[in-house]
Amino acid sequence: GAVVSQHPSWVICKSGTSVKIECRSLDFQATTMFWYRQFPKQSLMLMATSNEGSKATYEQGVEKDKFLINHASLTLSTLTVTSAHPEDSSFYICMVATNEKLFFGSGTQLSVL
């Protein structure tokens, strides 16, 4: 079945810097990937839908200029948190949807100092 690889697993950065998170579909060509965010002790919230070869679709309240999504190939989507601030510290998770199942990445814990 499809396997999703997400990198890095955790990252610590200074406020104002940008951080890139990669999500790779290893066994499946994914035209669509999804990015979720999870704050401590809270549920997962959908941030955006990443579409291969076109612009991402953002959920209400998610700043597209702050959370840049690039889906340049069928196996890779990247989420860049630009000018990160402490309030962006969160667990970011990607997900790939195949015809039958949904597969999550292992998540990236972002800590902004």
Partner 1 sequence: GESVGLHLPTLSVQEGDNSIINCAYSNSASDYFIWYKQESGKGPQFIIDIRSNMDKRQGQRVTVLLNKTVKHLSLQIAATQPGDSAVYFCAENMGSSNTGKLIFGQGTTLQVKP
d(CA 50, CA 42): 23
Residue corresponding to tokens 């949904």 = 102
Cβ–Cβ under 8 Å, residues 28 and 96: yes
Cβ–Cβ under 8 Å, residues 50 and 67: no
Which of 5, 7, 20, 45 touches partner 1 (CB under 8 A)?
A: 45
Which DSSP letter does residue 38 get?
E
Part in contact with partner 1 (CB under 8 A); list of ranges 11-19, 60-68, 79-87, 97-105: 97-105
Part in contact with partner 1 (CB under 8 A); list of ranges 13-21, 64-72, 74-82, 99-107: 99-107
102 touches partner 1 (CB under 8 A): yes
Give the residues lining the site for partner 1 (CB under 8 A): 6, 32, 34, 42-46, 49, 91, 93, 95-107, 109
